[in-house]
Structure 1
Protein backbone atom coordinates (compact mmCIF):
# COMPACT_ATOMS: atom_id res chain seq x y z
CA UNK A 1 0.00 0.00 0.00
CA UNK A 2 2.69 2.51 1.01
CA UNK A 3 4.78 1.66 -2.06
CA UNK A 4 1.74 2.26 -4.32
CA UNK A 5 1.25 5.70 -2.78
CA UNK A 6 4.94 6.53 -2.97
CA UNK A 7 5.07 5.47 -6.62
CA UNK A 8 2.50 8.18 -7.41
CA UNK A 9 4.70 10.99 -6.06
CA UNK A 10 6.67 12.74 -8.81
CA UNK A 11 10.34 11.90 -8.59
CA UNK A 12 13.21 12.81 -10.89
CA UNK A 13 14.38 9.29 -11.73
CA UNK A 14 16.84 10.34 -14.42
CA UNK A 15 16.53 9.52 -18.08
CA UNK A 16 18.76 6.50 -18.63
CA UNK A 17 16.83 3.30 -19.31
CA UNK A 18 17.68 -0.35 -20.06
CA UNK A 19 18.59 -0.87 -23.70
CA UNK A 20 19.88 2.67 -24.20
CA UNK A 21 23.48 3.71 -24.71
CA UNK A 22 24.89 4.89 -21.39
CA UNK A 23 25.97 8.52 -21.49
CA UNK A 24 29.70 8.92 -20.91
CA UNK A 25 30.94 10.92 -17.94
CA UNK A 26 34.14 11.79 -16.12
CA UNK A 27 34.17 12.34 -12.35
CA UNK A 28 36.94 12.49 -9.74
CA UNK A 29 37.50 9.41 -7.61
CA UNK A 30 38.36 9.28 -3.91
CA UNK A 31 41.97 10.23 -4.75
CA UNK A 32 40.85 13.11 -7.00
CA UNK A 33 41.87 11.22 -10.15
CA UNK A 34 39.51 11.61 -13.11
CA UNK A 35 37.61 8.41 -13.97
CA UNK A 36 35.88 8.22 -17.36
CA UNK A 37 33.12 5.63 -17.72
CA UNK A 38 34.01 4.68 -21.31
CA UNK A 39 37.66 4.12 -20.33
CA UNK A 40 36.57 1.68 -17.60
CA UNK A 41 34.21 -0.05 -20.07
CA UNK A 42 37.18 -0.86 -22.31
CA UNK A 43 38.15 -3.41 -19.64
CA UNK A 44 34.68 -4.96 -19.33
CA UNK A 45 31.16 -4.36 -18.02
CA UNK A 46 30.57 -1.92 -15.19
CA UNK A 47 27.97 -1.59 -12.45
CA UNK A 48 27.41 2.05 -11.55
CA UNK A 49 25.97 2.36 -8.06
CA UNK A 50 24.28 5.63 -7.11
CA UNK A 51 23.74 6.10 -3.39
CA UNK A 52 22.70 9.02 -1.15
CA UNK A 53 25.79 9.35 1.04
CA UNK A 54 28.88 8.00 2.72
CA UNK A 55 28.62 6.83 6.34
CA UNK A 56 24.83 6.53 6.30
CA UNK A 57 23.53 3.21 7.67
CA UNK A 58 21.82 1.87 4.53
CA UNK A 59 24.56 3.07 2.15
CA UNK A 60 27.27 1.58 4.34
CA UNK A 61 25.45 -1.76 4.53
CA UNK A 62 24.85 -1.77 0.77
CA UNK A 63 28.41 -0.92 -0.26
CA UNK A 64 29.93 -3.30 2.30
CA UNK A 65 27.69 -6.05 0.93
CA UNK A 66 29.10 -5.33 -2.54
CA UNK A 67 32.59 -5.35 -1.04
CA UNK A 68 31.96 -8.77 0.49
CA UNK A 69 30.80 -10.17 -2.87
CA UNK A 70 33.36 -8.29 -4.98
CA UNK A 71 35.12 -11.50 -6.07
CA UNK A 72 31.79 -12.92 -7.29
CA UNK A 73 31.15 -9.72 -9.27
CA UNK A 74 34.63 -9.92 -10.75
CA UNK A 75 33.93 -13.54 -11.80
CA UNK A 76 31.44 -11.98 -14.24
CA UNK A 77 34.14 -9.52 -15.34
CA UNK A 78 32.19 -6.71 -13.65
CA UNK A 79 33.85 -3.60 -12.28
CA UNK A 80 32.00 -1.38 -9.78
CA UNK A 81 31.85 2.40 -9.51
CA UNK A 82 30.02 4.09 -6.63
CA UNK A 83 28.67 7.63 -7.12
CA UNK A 84 27.20 10.09 -4.64
CA UNK A 85 27.30 13.84 -4.16
CA UNK A 86 29.80 13.55 -1.30
CA UNK A 87 33.14 15.35 -1.77
CA UNK A 88 36.35 13.56 -2.72
CA UNK A 89 37.77 13.85 0.82
CA UNK A 90 34.74 12.16 2.38
CA UNK A 91 34.86 9.38 -0.24
CA UNK A 92 38.53 8.80 0.56
CA UNK A 93 37.83 8.44 4.28
CA UNK A 94 34.74 6.23 3.73
CA UNK A 95 36.47 3.97 1.21
CA UNK A 96 39.47 3.49 3.50
CA UNK A 97 37.38 2.91 6.64
CA UNK A 98 35.16 0.33 4.89
CA UNK A 99 38.01 -1.29 2.87
CA UNK A 100 36.06 -0.90 -0.36
CA UNK A 101 37.91 -2.41 -3.37
CA UNK A 102 36.13 -0.20 -5.94
CA UNK A 103 36.28 3.50 -6.75
CA UNK A 104 33.90 6.07 -5.29
CA UNK A 105 33.23 9.03 -7.57
CA UNK A 106 32.24 12.51 -6.41
CA UNK A 107 29.38 14.36 -8.12
CA UNK A 108 28.59 17.33 -5.84
CA UNK A 109 26.96 19.27 -8.69
CA UNK A 110 24.64 16.33 -9.60
CA UNK A 111 25.67 16.41 -13.27
CA UNK A 112 25.75 12.60 -13.52
CA UNK A 113 23.33 11.91 -10.66
CA UNK A 114 20.55 13.91 -12.34
CA UNK A 115 21.23 12.25 -15.69
CA UNK A 116 21.13 8.69 -14.35
CA UNK A 117 19.37 8.19 -11.01
CA UNK A 118 17.92 11.60 -10.25
CA UNK A 119 17.03 12.74 -6.75
CA UNK A 120 13.87 13.12 -4.71
CA UNK A 121 12.31 14.23 -1.47
CA UNK A 122 12.79 10.64 -0.24
CA UNK A 123 16.56 10.95 -0.59
CA UNK A 124 16.58 14.44 0.96
CA UNK A 125 17.57 15.90 -2.41
CA UNK A 126 20.57 13.59 -2.66
CA UNK A 127 21.12 10.87 -5.25
CA UNK A 128 18.37 8.30 -5.60
CA UNK A 129 19.70 4.84 -4.84
CA UNK A 130 20.16 3.07 -8.20
CA UNK A 131 22.11 0.34 -9.96
CA UNK A 132 23.04 0.29 -13.64
CA UNK A 133 24.89 -2.60 -15.26
CA UNK A 134 26.49 -1.35 -18.45
CA UNK A 135 27.90 -3.67 -21.08
CA UNK A 136 31.31 -3.25 -22.67
CA UNK A 137 29.60 -1.67 -25.71
CA UNK A 138 28.05 0.99 -23.40
CA UNK A 139 24.54 -0.51 -23.59
CA UNK A 140 22.57 -0.34 -20.34
CA UNK A 141 21.80 -4.00 -19.59
CA UNK A 142 20.15 -3.50 -16.19
CA UNK A 143 18.62 -0.38 -14.65
CA UNK A 144 16.96 -0.13 -11.26
CA UNK A 145 16.15 3.11 -9.41
CA UNK A 146 14.76 2.74 -5.90
CA UNK A 147 11.65 4.74 -5.04
CA UNK A 148 12.45 4.67 -1.32
CA UNK A 149 16.07 5.33 -0.35
CA UNK A 150 16.02 2.90 2.59
CA UNK A 151 15.74 0.00 0.14
CA UNK A 152 18.56 -1.29 -2.05
CA UNK A 153 19.49 -4.05 -4.45
CA UNK A 154 21.34 -6.71 -2.48
CA UNK A 155 24.45 -8.46 -3.74
CA UNK A 156 22.26 -11.51 -4.29
CA UNK A 157 19.82 -9.48 -6.44
CA UNK A 158 22.70 -8.25 -8.57
CA UNK A 159 24.29 -11.69 -8.89
CA UNK A 160 20.95 -13.13 -10.06
CA UNK A 161 20.67 -10.35 -12.65
CA UNK A 162 24.26 -11.01 -13.78
CA UNK A 163 23.50 -14.73 -14.13
CA UNK A 164 20.45 -13.94 -16.24
CA UNK A 165 22.43 -11.53 -18.42
CA UNK A 166 25.18 -14.09 -18.90
CA UNK A 167 22.67 -16.85 -19.75
CA UNK A 168 21.12 -14.51 -22.34
CA UNK A 169 24.57 -13.92 -23.87
CA UNK A 170 24.63 -10.24 -22.94
CA UNK A 171 27.74 -10.38 -20.72
Structure 2
Protein backbone atom coordinates (compact mmCIF):
# COMPACT_ATOMS: atom_id res chain seq x y z
CA UNK A 1 0.00 0.00 0.00
CA UNK A 2 1.27 3.47 -0.79
CA UNK A 3 2.39 5.20 2.39
CA UNK A 4 2.58 8.63 4.00
CA UNK A 5 4.88 10.94 2.04
CA UNK A 6 4.31 9.29 -1.34
CA UNK A 7 2.79 11.10 -4.31
CA UNK A 8 -0.49 9.63 -5.56
CA UNK A 9 -0.53 8.25 -9.10
CA UNK A 10 -1.94 10.46 -11.85
CA UNK A 11 -4.85 8.30 -12.96
CA UNK A 12 -8.04 9.04 -14.86
CA UNK A 13 -11.14 6.93 -14.22
CA UNK A 14 -14.82 7.13 -15.17
CA UNK A 15 -17.30 8.30 -12.54
CA UNK A 16 -20.95 7.34 -12.00
CA UNK A 17 -22.07 10.02 -14.48
CA UNK A 18 -19.83 8.78 -17.29
CA UNK A 19 -17.35 11.67 -16.83
CA UNK A 20 -13.62 11.10 -16.78
CA UNK A 21 -12.02 12.21 -13.52
CA UNK A 22 -8.29 12.75 -13.12
CA UNK A 23 -6.51 13.05 -9.79
CA UNK A 24 -4.28 15.61 -11.51
CA UNK A 25 -7.28 17.97 -11.73
CA UNK A 26 -7.30 18.28 -7.93
CA UNK A 27 -3.57 18.89 -7.52
CA UNK A 28 -2.86 22.33 -6.11
CA UNK A 29 -6.56 22.92 -5.43
CA UNK A 30 -7.78 20.80 -2.52
CA UNK A 31 -7.07 17.78 -0.35
CA UNK A 32 -8.65 14.44 -1.23
CA UNK A 33 -9.95 11.51 0.74
CA UNK A 34 -9.72 8.55 -1.62
CA UNK A 35 -11.27 5.35 -0.38
CA UNK A 36 -11.15 1.93 -1.99
CA UNK A 37 -13.90 -0.54 -1.25
CA UNK A 38 -14.65 -4.08 -2.47
CA UNK A 39 -18.14 -3.96 -3.97
CA UNK A 40 -21.30 -1.88 -4.40
CA UNK A 41 -24.39 -2.93 -2.44
CA UNK A 42 -22.65 -4.99 0.22
CA UNK A 43 -23.26 -4.38 3.91
CA UNK A 44 -19.94 -2.88 5.04
CA UNK A 45 -19.38 -1.01 1.76
CA UNK A 46 -22.84 0.55 1.99
CA UNK A 47 -22.21 1.51 5.63
CA UNK A 48 -18.91 3.09 4.62
CA UNK A 49 -20.44 5.08 1.74
CA UNK A 50 -23.30 6.27 3.96
CA UNK A 51 -20.85 7.29 6.70
CA UNK A 52 -18.87 9.34 4.20
CA UNK A 53 -22.18 10.83 3.02
CA UNK A 54 -23.31 11.62 6.56
CA UNK A 55 -19.99 13.35 7.29
CA UNK A 56 -19.57 14.92 3.85
CA UNK A 57 -20.19 18.47 5.07
CA UNK A 58 -17.43 18.01 7.65
CA UNK A 59 -15.05 16.91 4.88
CA UNK A 60 -16.07 19.93 2.78
CA UNK A 61 -15.56 22.22 5.80
CA UNK A 62 -12.03 20.80 6.06
CA UNK A 63 -11.57 21.72 2.37
CA UNK A 64 -11.45 18.12 1.13
CA UNK A 65 -13.24 16.16 -1.57
CA UNK A 66 -14.22 12.52 -1.07
CA UNK A 67 -13.81 9.96 -3.85
CA UNK A 68 -14.78 6.28 -3.67
CA UNK A 69 -13.24 3.64 -5.96
CA UNK A 70 -14.21 0.05 -6.72
CA UNK A 71 -14.12 -2.29 -9.71
CA UNK A 72 -17.89 -1.92 -10.21
CA UNK A 73 -19.23 -0.29 -13.38
CA UNK A 74 -20.28 3.35 -13.66
CA UNK A 75 -23.87 2.11 -14.01
CA UNK A 76 -23.65 0.20 -10.73
CA UNK A 77 -22.11 3.26 -9.07
CA UNK A 78 -24.90 5.45 -10.44
CA UNK A 79 -27.56 3.21 -8.87
CA UNK A 80 -25.79 3.25 -5.51
CA UNK A 81 -25.17 7.00 -5.62
CA UNK A 82 -28.81 7.71 -6.44
CA UNK A 83 -30.27 5.21 -3.99
CA UNK A 84 -28.03 6.32 -1.11
CA UNK A 85 -27.96 10.01 -2.10
CA UNK A 86 -24.18 10.12 -2.22
CA UNK A 87 -22.87 13.65 -2.87
CA UNK A 88 -19.38 12.54 -3.94
CA UNK A 89 -17.86 10.75 -6.92
CA UNK A 90 -17.59 7.00 -7.24
CA UNK A 91 -14.96 5.96 -9.76
CA UNK A 92 -14.96 2.74 -11.72
CA UNK A 93 -11.73 0.71 -11.73
CA UNK A 94 -12.67 -2.43 -13.73
CA UNK A 95 -9.08 -3.28 -14.67
CA UNK A 96 -7.89 -2.59 -11.09
CA UNK A 97 -5.44 0.02 -12.40
CA UNK A 98 -5.98 2.31 -9.41
CA UNK A 99 -5.96 -0.60 -6.96
CA UNK A 100 -2.58 -1.69 -8.34
CA UNK A 101 -1.16 1.86 -8.56
CA UNK A 102 -2.11 2.55 -4.93
CA UNK A 103 -0.86 -0.96 -4.00
CA UNK A 104 -4.12 -1.88 -2.27
CA UNK A 105 -3.91 -5.63 -1.65
CA UNK A 106 -6.86 -7.99 -1.84
CA UNK A 107 -8.85 -9.30 1.10
CA UNK A 108 -7.87 -12.93 1.60
CA UNK A 109 -6.74 -12.90 -2.03
CA UNK A 110 -10.38 -12.81 -3.17
CA UNK A 111 -11.91 -9.33 -2.98
CA UNK A 112 -10.42 -5.93 -3.70
CA UNK A 113 -9.16 -4.37 -0.46
CA UNK A 114 -10.59 -1.60 1.71
CA UNK A 115 -8.18 1.29 2.21
CA UNK A 116 -8.42 5.05 2.64
CA UNK A 117 -5.82 7.63 1.64
CA UNK A 118 -5.83 11.20 2.91
CA UNK A 119 -4.01 13.34 0.37
CA UNK A 120 -2.94 16.97 0.71
CA UNK A 121 -3.56 19.47 -2.05
CA UNK A 122 -0.07 18.85 -3.44
CA UNK A 123 -1.05 15.22 -4.10
CA UNK A 124 1.06 13.77 -1.29
CA UNK A 125 -0.39 11.11 1.00
CA UNK A 126 -0.54 12.40 4.56
CA UNK A 127 -2.24 9.38 6.13
CA UNK A 128 -3.53 5.91 5.27
CA UNK A 129 -6.09 3.59 6.86
CA UNK A 130 -6.61 -0.12 6.39
CA UNK A 131 -9.48 -1.87 8.15
CA UNK A 132 -11.05 -4.62 6.06
CA UNK A 133 -14.28 -5.36 7.86
CA UNK A 134 -15.14 -2.03 9.44
CA UNK A 135 -15.73 1.37 7.97
CA UNK A 136 -15.89 3.78 10.88
CA UNK A 137 -12.09 4.12 11.47
CA UNK A 138 -11.74 5.32 7.87
CA UNK A 139 -14.16 8.24 8.30
CA UNK A 140 -13.20 9.33 11.81
CA UNK A 141 -9.49 8.96 11.12
CA UNK A 142 -9.62 10.90 7.86
CA UNK A 143 -11.53 13.77 9.46
CA UNK A 144 -9.10 13.89 12.39
CA UNK A 145 -6.08 14.12 10.07
CA UNK A 146 -7.69 16.82 7.90
CA UNK A 147 -8.68 18.91 10.91
CA UNK A 148 -5.18 18.72 12.39
CA UNK A 149 -3.63 20.42 9.35
Common fold by TM > 0.5 = yes
Tell me the number of residue pairs that the alignment of Structure 1 and Structure 2 aligns: 148
Distance 1:143 1:62 in 2: 16
Shift in alpha-carbon separation, 1:121–1:132, aligned structure 2, 3 A:
closer
Once the two structures are superposed, the pairs formed by residues 69-148 of structure 1 within 5 Å of their partners are: 69-122=55-108, 125-146=110-131
Q: Which runs of 5+ in 1 are unaligned?
A: 1-13, 167-171
Q: Which runs of 5+ in 2 are unaligned?
A: none
| C-alpha RMSD of the superposition | 1.5
Q: Secondary structure at the match of 1:126?
A: coil
Q: Shift of the alpha carbon at 1:112?
A: 0.6
Distance 2:56 2:146 in 1: 13
Distance 1:88 1:104 in 2: 8
Q: Shift of the alpha carbon at 1:120?
A: 2.1
Counterpart of 1:66 (choices 45, 52, 57) is 52
Distance 2:140 2:52 in 1: 9
Once the two structures are superposed, the pairs formed by residues 44-55 of structure 1 within 5 Å of their partners are: 44-55=30-41
* Contact 1:67/1:100 (8 A) holds in 2: yes
Of the two, which has the highest radius of gyration? 1
Counterpart of 1:33 (choices 11, 16, 19) is 19
Q: Give the TM-score taking structure 2 as reference length.
A: 0.92
Q: Shift of the alpha carbon at 1:121?
A: 4.1
Distance 2:33 2:66 in 1: 5
Distance 1:126 1:41 in 2: 30
Distance 1:77 1:125 in 2: 35
Q: Give the TM-score taking structure 1 as reference length.
A: 0.81
Aligned to 1:155: 139
